[in-house]
Amino acid sequence: MTTFHLPDLGEGLQEAEIVSWHVSPGDHVVADQPLLSVETDKAVVEVPAPWSGTVTALLADAGEIAAIGAPLAEIDTGPSADTGAIVGTLPGAGGRARAAPAVRRLAAERGVDLAALDGSGPDGAITRADVEAAADAGGGGGTTAAWQPLRGVRRAMARNMSAARDSVATTAIFDEADITGWAEGADITIRLARAIAAGCAAEPALNAWFDDARMARHLHRTVDLGIAVDTADGLFVPVLRDVGNRAAEDLRAGLQRMRADIEARAIPRDEMRGQTITLSNFGMIGGRHALMTVIPPQVAIVGAGRIGDAPGIVDGRVAPRRKLPVSLTFDHRIVTGAEAARFLTTMIRTLEHGTDGA
């Protein structure tokens, strides 16, 4: 009898939530067959069997949070155990309603029967909005738990923000770009990305990592931009690579692909790590300026606020202008105020006068 433990999932992850089992006690499995799906702070991952054998016991239930190395199943790997065939419930089989763990918990709290819903998500998956709509249509049946444990993306966000709060010397400066001359339908996110790349070229200290244990910094040659993406399950930050050396059309296509992968919770791990500086375009939702959180080892994050009209002076006269508020939060342990100001000045100038077609 061999005990199967939750393997190291990489990226320094310490735990994962069990989404579902694909096998039951008594099932025969072969090496590399998916045993279960787990949810990390970034994606749902299938965990394969390392050996062939017969499953004799499952040691953890769906919905549990398991630490790396925790025992998950007992598998009889004796000579007669390997039938050479895959038996059990493979992903997607069985007619079970497709919904993420967070959505299943919400349905249970609101008293909604998932089997009665038609999902509006990818491949018919049931979303939080589907559950909320069904609950509201039924008069808001069920009760919401007073305390809901944080899981997956939200759990990781809480930990990351706590670590950042305890280590970063947070400082910020603010300014506005006059974008009155922008063409109708200009790609705001890509123009911001290109402006950040220009700022990093002028002040490489902002495009850096800092290791406080070694009191050392690493200046990056390329700008790998993390772009904050809001979802119902929490904040994702996919990475748009080398934004300073790619055409605007290429950057837009890459960003759209990453957003689609996030919606499907299928974004590759490599596309969620290694950012050298981050952009939060929070103005698409609301707000003008913000003191944001720098996540180590990065040393800076740029925020774009809500675009609006404001009076300005043109040829000595007051005239309506279109303004884009820009916030820069940086780690003052490693970035000086002058470096931050020069970065932001270059970024503003690029936003106002850049003509790269973004």
Domains of the chain, by residue range, sit at 2-76, 154-353
Would you state the structure tokens that stand for residue 273, as one six-digit string?
């790590």
Residues near 317 by beta carbon (within 8 Å), at least 6 away in sequence: none
Kind of pairing between the strands at 208-211 and 216-219? antiparallel
d(CA 84, CA 32): 12
Per-residue CA distances from 265 to 48, 255, 258 (Å) = 18, 15, 10
- What is residue 342's predicted lDDT score, i.e. its pLDDT? 98
d(CA 150, CA 171): 29
Kind of pairing between the strands at 277-280 and 300-304? parallel
- What is residue 125's predicted lDDT score, i.e. its pLDDT? 73
d(CA 45, CA 26): 24
Beta-bridge partner residues of 314:
317
Tokens 């809001």: give the residue. Answer: 230
d(CA 41, CA 23): 24
| Statement: the pTM of the whole predicted model exceeds 0.85 | no
- What is residue 122's predicted lDDT score, i.e. its pLDDT? 61
- What is residue 234's predicted lDDT score, i.e. its pLDDT? 79
User: What angle do helix axes 248-263 and 188-202 make, rounded to 10 degrees?
Assistant: 110
Per-residue CA distances from 153 to 15, 127, 128, 233 (Å) = 12, 16, 15, 7
d(CA 350, CA 309): 20
Architecture of domain 154-353: 2-Layer Sandwich (3.30)
Q: May I ask the CATH class of domain 2-76?
A: mainly beta
- What is residue 340's predicted lDDT score, i.e. its pLDDT? 98
**Strands, sheet with 65-67, edge to edge from the N-terminal-most edge strand:** 44-48, 34-39, 15-21, 65-67
pLDDT along the chain (358 residues), means of 10: 86 81 91 87 81 91 87 84 42 53 70 81 74 72 57 81 89 96 92 97 97 94 94 86 95 93 83 94 94 95 96 90 97 97 97 70
- What is the length of the chain? 358
d(CA 271, CA 273): 6
